[in-house]
Amino acid sequence: MPIVIENGVTIEGGISITGGSVPTSPINLDMIATYLRNYTTTLSTSGGLRNPEFYEYALDGDEYSISDGGDDMFDGGNYTAPYLLDNTTFLNDSDMNTPPALSYNTLTTAISDTNFNYVSLGYADNRRPLTMLGTRVGVGLPIGFQKAGNLGSDGGGSFVDGNLYTGQTLNNFTTYAWYRQSYGQSSDPACCDLYILLGHAAWGSVFGTTTNALASNPRSEQGGLFYTYGGSVTNVLAITTLLSKNPGAVSRQLDAPTIQQIVQNYTYLIGQALGI
């Protein structure tokens, strides 16, 4: 008689394991990131992920945040974390502990907050705009990103946010996208956080409720979040990227069509990377 231990493990002249498999995601973050890194410095008008008149903010902090960025873009900002399982948010915070803040120097898939898989498009080697990709393994769990930090505009200038896509299909991806942007303060560059959620039939993606939130003073605080949650949410790809525009541009604001083109390019390139 074989000896049954538990979870399908038996001993009978050896050990065989027939149960207790660990859930995995069908979204291959490493394959996507490797492909997208080829387009981080290509302008969106040429099929890439960088907006025209892009401001090449300095990486003058560390892999978790930007100190100033040059031209007073930040007073410590771009702390990035998943939307957390315990619902903790950092919208009005000037910084964030590590963890939950994620390292932009994470070049192969890592795990945070129990089951949030993430990878960056890079930190050094001019990998700007700084970009993070992530997804959760499991069903019914929140999927998305949040940011914290202080903007150098200190409450001046102008602010705009808005939904770019609310479930439309782009290049076979169900697409949700939202942005928040501070701009027009003296000679400061525009600071624009773009958040994207993508689903695909090949992944078996399911969306729930999709929502966003802002810091109480978005002209001086970078805080923002965008995520999907509830029901049977599963296999959704979250992206956040830090766009910016030169302070010397005629209009410092990135307009919605420019940002929409970047979202469209993400869907096209990810489809190319995965052959879906």
Tokens of 152: 């150098």
Tokens of 171: 């290049």
Structural domain contains residue 250: yes
Structural domain contains residue 16: no
Structural domain contains residue 239: yes
Structural domain contains residue 1: no
| Cβ pair 101, 79 in contact under 8 A | yes
- pLDDT score of 21: 56
The per-residue pLDDT of the chain, averaged, comes to: 91
Tell me: pLDDT of 122 over 60: yes
CA 241 to CA 269: how far, in whole Å?
A: 15
CA 242 to CA 45: how far, in whole Å?
A: 17
Please state the pTM of the whole predicted model: 0.92
Edge-first strand order for the sheet with 110-112 is 110-112, 116-120, 131-136, 237-245, 190-199, 173-183, 158-170
Count other C-beta atoms under 10 Å from residue 187's C-beta.
9
- pLDDT score of 269: 98
Average pLDDT rounded to a whole number, residues 59-70? 95
- Name the 3-class secondary structure at 57: coil
Structural domain contains residue 179: yes
- Interval 20-35: pLDDT, tens: 556 799 999 999 999 9
Tell me: pLDDT of 11 over 50: no
Structural domain contains residue 19: no
The domain total for the chain is: 1
Structural domain contains residue 82: yes
- Interval 164-221: pLDDT, tens: 999 999 999 999 999 999 998 778 899 999 999 999 999 999 999 999 999 999 999 9
Residue type at 98?
T
Q: How far is CA 146 from CA 127, 214, 250, in A?
A: 20, 10, 30
**Where in the sequence is the domain holding 239, given as residue range(s)?**
24-274
Structural domain contains residue 2: no
